[in-house]
Structure 1
Amino acid sequence: MMTDLGLSDVPAELAGPAAELFGDRLAGVRRYAALLADTGVAHGLIGPSEGGRIWQRHLLNCAVMAELIEPDARVLDIGSGAGLPGIPLALARPDLEIVLLEPMARRVEWLRSTVAELDLPITVARGRAEERTVQRDWAGADVVTARAVAPLARLAGWALPLTRIGGRMLALKGASAAEEVDRDRAAVRGFGGSAPRVVQCGSTLVDPPTTVVIVERTAAKVGSRAASAASRGRKR
């Protein structure tokens, strides 16, 4: 059992929302917050200045996405990094089957250690969403989540092939969400996605609310050159 790092207490103004979101799993969330503030910083998963904002910026901001996910869904969190949003979703919604996908070995090691420490039934897999082996092993998810992974068009090219027909990609975005939707709408459709839409989550629990772009997978194949072109670019 890890020692108390003194950084895991819920800020007083967030205690109510944290209790509502996590219920009797709040002790596990505190342990996760302490790990993020300690070894998460040491591993470069979050910045050293983030320690005082872990609950607001990372934990609650991610957990409110749970309102968009149906019961017992299989969730694939791509480019998971520090386990965001996958671990907060698992702590808020123990009914979910969650896989964390991360390409960097050092981060995978940290995620596996953290999942074991928290005693969560989460699978941690190493790989990139665009790799054939990943698509073979993990395609068919009900929901694919991503946070700060890539611009919308490129993200759709990675996430939608891993999503079942009728499933959804949930991309946690910031102020650029509406601009990305306008710019990348055609490319997203070319990957077999619906018209992307922007929603706000947790408006009564977090301020500002969490911005999420939702894309449903409606077709099986890429249908446009624009979509194919948009999928090219930098590796994560």
Structure 2
Amino acid sequence: MSEEIDEGVEQRPAYAETLFGDRVELADRYAQHLVTTGVEWGLLGPRELPRVWSRHILNCGAAASLLETGDVVGDIGSGAGLPGIPWAVARPDVRIVLIEIMERRVEWLRMVVDDLGLENVRIVRARVEELVDDEIFTVVTARAVKAMTTLIEWSVPILGPQGRILAIKGASVDSELEKAARLIRKRKLVGPTVHTVGAEELETPTTVVELRRR
């Protein structure tokens, strides 16, 4: 990285070692990609450099605790690999499918996944609607992609029985859930359960909405 970028990049917090364990060096390399090629390729804004760990990598990684061994996770609109790549680093016991339609983003994801040697990650260039009948997941996730109603409509057709939606949400979560209440009943989903993870380690804990298929 250039000296200017080095000066503005958030240093790795101690929580990263707790979260990623002996794979923390992979998280370091991912952070390095985000603040260099990620910015150059337009996947991360320069203003995010001072909070690349706390707002992005750890905010996503904290939610990996909600996964179960053997889960097959579809990360819709993966973009810069959030939350899919932090989950793949934190949980080598699950399989992650990064779903992204934009070619440039797919090229960047392939470069990063290859560099990190993440054998539990697969990248699919497609719209989520195109995956119906081709892919089935035990978990579908998304971060800052669409409103809850849209995410539900996208997710249900590719979720297996008892499959779960784990949506990383921000301050608008209550409003989104209120708007989605009728659709949740229509799709016969169990929930919502709202999880708050990383409360003791992160200045802004991660909010995850869980919905489950019957």
Alpha-carbon distance, 1:215 to partner: 0.7
Change (3 A) 1:178 1:19: same
Give 1 or 2: higher strand fraction: 2
Change (3 A) 1:7 1:166: farther
Alpha-carbon distance, 1:8 to partner: 11
Count residues with an aligned counterpart.
212
Q: Give the aligned partner of residue 65 of structure 1.
A: 63
Q: Give the aligned partner of residue 135 of structure 1.
A: 132
Query: Which runs of 4 or more aligned residues in structure 1 lie more than 3 Å from their structure 2 counterparts after TM superposition?
Result: 2-10
- Report if aligned partners of 1:7, 1:37 keep a CA contact under 8 Å in 2: no
- Report if aligned partners of 2:10, 2:50 keep a CA contact under 8 Å in 1: no
Q: Which amino acid aligns with 1:193?
A: L
Q: Give the aligned partner of residue 98 of structure 2.
A: 100
- Percent identity between matched residues is 46
- Report if aligned partners of 1:99, 1:123 keep a CA contact under 8 Å in 2: yes
Q: Give the aligned partner of residue 174 of structure 2.
A: 178
Q: Which amino acid aligns with 2:171?
A: A
Rounded to whole Å, the distance in 2 between the matches of 1:9 and 1:214 is 32
In structure 2, the residue corresponding to 1:196 is in which secondary structure? strand
1:68-107 Cα distance to aligned partner (Å, 9 max, x none): 1111211111110000000000111111111100011110
- Aligned counterpart in structure 1 of residue 31 of structure 2, from 22, 30, 33: 33
Q: Give the aligned partner of residue 148 of structure 2.
A: 152
Q: Give the aligned partner of residue 125 of structure 1.
A: 124
Q: Give the aligned partner of residue 206 of structure 2.
A: 210
- Report if aligned partners of 1:177, 1:198 keep a CA contact under 8 Å in 2: no
- Report if aligned partners of 1:102, 1:126 keep a CA contact under 8 Å in 2: yes
Q: Which amino acid aligns with 1:154?
A: T
Runs of 5+ consecutive residues of structure 2 not aligned to the other structure: none
- Report if aligned partners of 2:88, 2:94 keep a CA contact under 8 Å in 1: yes
Alpha-carbon distance, 1:152 to partner: 0.4
TM-score (norm 1): 0.84
Listed as ranges, the matches of 1:187-206 within 5 Å are: 187-206=183-202
- Aligned counterpart in structure 2 of residue 111 of structure 1, from 109, 112, 115: 109
